Structure 1
């Protein structure tokens, strides 16, 4: 997360292994001070298109490097592509247009892309009364559950793809907010997961309905995600991938 709060990773979850091979990490050109390389997450939605968050890029950035390894280590295979943020991206809380794609020159082999939602899917589910009882699976490479200590919280990064399950908090025109409170059996995202997917249902469905953007600073309460079934999100994505 990064826009109005922290960039997210997965908390109170478990290692993903090969459950979501379509989920990858944006890889920095050199390690950070803690030795980690992954700085954001995202999802392959066609053989040549990877969806992430616009705030994951620096001003003027035109390329990005992506790894789909379940645990990234230097020397792992990466794929280079054009990094294209939504030109309407802003800090607006009503709709920040916080979405970007990485377009690869060649198809990523041996990975089945995630499915994108149909227009207004979440609104339709809300009207039908099924959204309120749905679960969502968050996946990403960011920080694990923070550890309390004398100097405050310590955030642990392992460059490993993890997953967690959360329940509905609320739905707005642009945002899907999920509970990640472990006291209610939920998990979610934390620093380093921005751009990562939130799938509808349990592991095994690969229907990508929203991407992680922000949340609370302790990574314990709410996972705030940008919807992909809205007219604005679909207008951007439709330039790069065939929509359902």
Structure 2
């Protein structure tokens, strides 16, 4: 979906336009590198109706990022899995280049979005937080997609991301979090580029990673700096739901998920903490919590 909060359908259509007009990339262009080793990080793919005939889907695209948190549970954002047409179907792909796969599938299966989705991804069932959208203090912007573990495991090898313990970020506090190495990953577009028609966000659909640094913490949110002069990269449109890893006690922890940020994608990644009581209570029925 987006680093800014927007409807999934709008962002999906935007991603489709960008993917056909510009070369694929992900995360901001500065200080970013490919992330083929981050096999637990995936893309949320959707098929849906766009022509008024709900009998069959006629659109397919990747729409958000996310992370496998056990063998059959994909964590993403609720704004990625809500406000869709009734016949939406969600899939998860752990391919490094999802856009390239969709392009190849479109050539192999013209006019068949469902077959195109199956060519790159595995179907699943989405569960959004029932209280989304909540107040600004806690929007409950979290969801999971349950997947058939046998089909996923047969297709990709991955080690699920480790979740934080209860209030792990809060216990560290700003001083400890400032000293922590942070990494954002996802499939999203690049920062705003100026053009004759105004700002555009090129790229999208390839898994990349970039360093970010801690900025601020409150009850539900961790704010991470994406400023280039400090050596940071950052998230942008299409990275919503994707992981922000923190190196804690020698382990890579999935500390928070990308939710929103500044429009041009230059300054701040606002991420949803996963160590809070609200996030943990939502996740508890789906995954064993540390």
TM-score w.r.t. the length of structure 2 is 0.75
Question: Which of 52, 66, 70 in structure 2 is aligned with 1:46?
Answer: 70
8 Å Cα contact 1:139/1:197 also seen in 2: yes
SS in 2 for 1:160: coil
8 Å Cα contact 2:4/2:236 also seen in 1: no
Which residues of 2 match residues 1-244 of structure 1 at below 5 A?
1-3=3-5, 10-11=27-28, 12-29=30-47, 37-59=61-83, 63-72=89-98, 73-74=101-102, 75=105, 76-107=119-150, 108-109=152-153, 110-126=157-173, 129-201=175-247, 205-244=251-290
Q: Cα deviation per residue 1:15-58 (whole Å; 9 max; x = unaligned)?
A: 4342211000011337x9xx993210000000000000000023
* Alpha-carbon distance between aligned partners in 1 of 2:75 and 2:204, rounded to the nearest angstrom: 22
Number of residues of Structure 1 aligned to a counterpart in Structure 2: 239
Judged with a 3 Å threshold, the aligned counterparts in structure 2 of structure 1 residues 36 and 5 are, in CA distance, closer, same or farther, namely: closer
8 Å Cα contact 1:36/1:157 also seen in 2: no
* Alpha-carbon distance between aligned partners in 2 of 1:4 and 1:68, rounded to the nearest angstrom: 24
8 Å Cα contact 1:81/1:104 also seen in 2: yes
Query: Which deviates the most, 88-97 or 222-231?
Result: 88-97
Q: Which runs of 5+ in 1 are unaligned?
A: none
* Alpha-carbon distance between aligned partners in 1 of 2:83 and 2:234, rounded to the nearest angstrom: 28
* Alpha-carbon distance between aligned partners in 2 of 1:221 and 1:169, rounded to the nearest angstrom: 11
* Alpha-carbon distance between aligned partners in 1 of 2:210 and 2:251, rounded to the nearest angstrom: 14
For the pair shown, which has the larger CA radius of gyration, 1 or 2?
A: 2
TM-score w.r.t. the length of structure 1 is 0.89
| Match in the other structure for 2:18 | none
Q: Which runs of 5+ in 2 are unaligned?
A: 12-25, 51-58, 106-118
Judged with a 3 Å threshold, the aligned counterparts in structure 2 of structure 1 residues 138 and 173 are, in CA distance, closer, same or farther, namely: same
How far is 1:234 from its partner? Answer: 0.2
